[in-house]
Amino acid sequence: MEQLKGKKIVLGITGSIAAYKAAVITRLLIKAGAEVQVVITPSGKEFITPVTLSALTGKPVISEFFTANSGSWNSHVDLGLWADALLIAPATAATIAKMVNGVADNMLITTYLSCKAPVFVAPAMDLDMFAHPSTQCNIALLQSYGNQIIEPAVGELASHLQGKGRMEEPEKIVEILNARFGQQESLSKKKILITAGPTYEKIDPVRFIGNYSSGKMGYALAEECVARGAEVVLVSGPVNLAVSHPRICRVNVESAMEMYEATMAHFDTVDAAFCTAAVADYRPGDYSEHKIKREDKTEFTLSLLANPDIAAALGARKKKGQIVAGFALESDAGIVQAQEKMRKKKFDFIVLNTLQDEGAGFKTDTNKITIVEQEGEKTSFTLKSKREVAVDIINCLVKYL
């Protein structure tokens, strides 16, 4: 647990029977050398007393915005800036819903909204509450915001039923935090280029050729890279996503030609590049400056020209020490197709996903991948959120760098 030494952890505790485990989490964090500040919701105090937690941390437990009688203010902003990580364990369905919607009615939620550090959420609730579509939707949204969900275990619950919803054990939770801190500086002083999203190829001022790429995978990779200390150049096609990290330089483009030019302009200065974008293979040969009228035409012929192959251009241009990785979205013979694409484009490794896997590919918040490497090694992963998939992919990049 050496990665936790000296780290500042805000431990959020909510109103769940699993709150008793928070005392064990606190003890383990302190033993590992971390400094812990507990923030507990009013209902959390019904399950575990602040006296116990204060004795373990050596700090007063924070619950209210103002200290009783003295009128002194507990600053959620200061807490958010102080923390190296925010861990909410246990996290109830109500707290998760408040986090998703920004319902800042207690000290813990305001601290969460002010937190600049990584956030870890360990849900704890009955199996039907956890499985309910509203809870699952909220958890997916939390993940899309960049929070890490520590999946609950299957076991006996407070209702005496058996199922998924039991908060993960304290030892495992602390291991996850320790591993995450170990990853944080793995890309320090590295610069990564990522292409993301679709490209739009204009036919006329109102029509274009495009695809269904949402850009979510590329953006998740960008967030993971900066979380590990890297600088990122994100060349993005038109997507409905935002980035706010100061180490992500976003370059907005629309067409494949614009993406090619922007990518080539930055490639020589980076240590690695991910070709994540779904770049259109072709563009209209004749662009109409005016909207094309139908005028009762029963046929319309569109002449197409090939766009430059950005991935192949990077593979051919890379220098010794530079790493280039790509993606392959296939519908059949996935491994064979991915290996051939990797060879042709001179990728160091390639990430395969297939349209045959439910929950993978375009428009989803999840992905199921296989990483294929030059030496023939193939590593397959289960269906995960794209944020979690990004961790697996960057772990592979770190091995090469």
Q: Is the pTM of this model over 0.85?
A: no
Per residue in 130-186, pLDDT tens? 999 999 999 988 887 878 899 999 988 888 889 999 999 999 999 999 988 877 778
Query: Residue 283's pLDDT band (boundaries 50, 70, 90)?
Result: very high
**Residue 293: exposed, middle, or buried by beta-carbon count in 10 A (0-12, 13-18, 19+)?**
exposed
pLDDT at 332 over 90: no
Overall number of domains in the chain:
2
Same structural domain, 180 and 199: no
Last residue of a domain, one of 128, 156, 184: 184
Same structural domain, 146 and 228: no
Distance CA 210, CA 280 (A): 7
Per residue in 350-359, pLDDT tens? 999 887 777 7
Assign residue 368 the CATH number of its domain.
3.40.50.10300
Same structural domain, 285 and 148: no
Helix, strand, coil in percent for the chain, rounding step 5: 35, 25, 40
Same structural domain, 334 and 232: yes
Other CB atoms within 10 A of residue 305 CB: 10
Last residue of a domain, one of 147, 164, 184: 184
Same structural domain, 300 and 322: yes
The range of the structural domain enclosing residue 352 comes to 191-400
Per residue in 287-302, pLDDT tens? 999 998 887 778 888 9
Same structural domain, 13 and 88: yes
| Whether residue 90 has a cis bond before it, omega within 30° of 0 | yes
**Catalytically annotated residues:** 211
DSSP class per residue in 124-193: ---HHHHHSHHHHHHHHHHHHTTPEE-PPEEEE-TTS-EEEEEPPPHHHHHHHHHHHHHHHTTTTT-EEE
DSSP 8-state code for residue 115 = -
Q: Is 355 helix (H, G, I), strand (E, B) or coil?
A: coil
pLDDT at 277 over 70: yes
Last residue of a domain, one of 184, 215, 232: 184
Same structural domain, 150 and 216: no
